[in-house]
Amino acid sequence: MKGFRIPVYFYPLAAMLFWGMSFVWSSILLKSYEPISIIFIRLVISSLFLFGVSLIFNKWERIRRSDYLLFFLSSVFNPFLYFLGENYGLKYSSSTIASVIIATIPVFSPVVAYVYFREKLSLLNIAGLFLSFGGVVLMLITKDLSLSVDKKGIIFLAGAVLAALVYSVMVRKLTFRYQPLTIIKYQNLIGVLLFLPVFLLYDYRSVIAVRLNYEIVSSFLLLAVLASSLSYVFYTKSIQMLGISKANIFSNLIPVFTAVFSFFLLSEQFTLQKLAGMVMVIGGVYISEMNGRKSA
């Protein structure tokens, strides 16, 4: 039994590590590219990788005509609107703050579930929501109560959280009918098509002017293959082996991974105030998920 635990916990840990590192890789690329260029190239590489995996392992599912609209609308919210919010939020804030705000998605999910599906909202959900929100506020303000980051960054990141919550409602039906690989590869492909006209209109010339180097190429490949592809596969595998509640506990590690690697790779400041805010957010996520674990 002990020998079996190592591969089981590898999947959620790897998924959260890749998602945590994605904020660092995106921050590196933002030095040379605009957010739209990063998202577009990332999705192109990810789509090629996922369709290549499907081709090699003969993993194909036919999409029903009745689901075409749902695939399209879900793709509008994620990857299109979500990645716009996340990457522009990163541009106007920091990788650690961005990852902490994005980490509040599981806290707000029960609220969305209550509004759309009338799932019961417990006191633990509400307590977790307020604790996490307080942690985010603590990270965003300075000693004189002014904002420590640009307002634009907060607005974009809040938009990314909202897009992810709406997406979770839309994608729920698809998960009962299709394999995760099928959903992700087609949504990424639709995302490429949505970003293509914007990319050609605004960013194409600036992308050509950038001189490629090892840091840029490796960051794009790591973002596309690990954060946009394998992380979703690993996360789905962890749900299959551990269940949703246990798998979601590991999401608390995303801001931790981001903060640690941002400190070493981006020389980001790691103050006590930022640490306290991060602990509050992670604690809020943990508390909000306690109700789900008890039910399980």
Give the torsion sign (CA, 194, 18, 113, 137).
negative
Chain mean position to CA 235: 12
Phi-psi region of 243 (alpha: psi -120 to 50; beta: other; left: phi over 0): left
Tell me: pLDDT of 3 over 70: no
Among 33-37, 46-50, 241-245, the range scoring the smallest mean pLDDT is: 241-245
The pLDDT assigned to 296 comes to: 46
d(CA 254, CA 281): 11
4 — pLDDT class (breaks 50, 70, 90) = very low
Phi-psi region of 191 (alpha: psi -120 to 50; beta: other; left: phi over 0): alpha
The pLDDT assigned to 2 comes to: 47
- Identify the residue whose tokens are 């996520």: 285
The token pair at 6 is 């190592």
Q: Which amino acid is at 185?
A: K
User: Residue 225 has what DSSP assignment?
Assistant: I
Tell me: pLDDT of 8 over 80: no
Contact 130, 111 (CB under 8 A): no
Tell me: pLDDT of 236 over 50: yes
Among candidates 158, 227, 188, which has minimal Cα distance to 18? 227
pLDDT tens digits, residue range 265-275? 998 887 888 88
pLDDT tens digits, residue range 49-64? 999 999 999 989 999 9
pLDDT tens digits, residue range 109-134? 777 777 776 667 678 878 887 888 88
35 — pLDDT class (breaks 50, 70, 90) = very high
Among 31-45, 153-167, 199-213, 235-249, the range scoring the smallest mean pLDDT is: 235-249
Q: Give SS3 for 63.
A: coil
Which is more confident, 293 or 63? Answer: 63
The three-point CA angle 187-115-80 to 5° equals: 20
Domain boundaries, the chain: 2-295
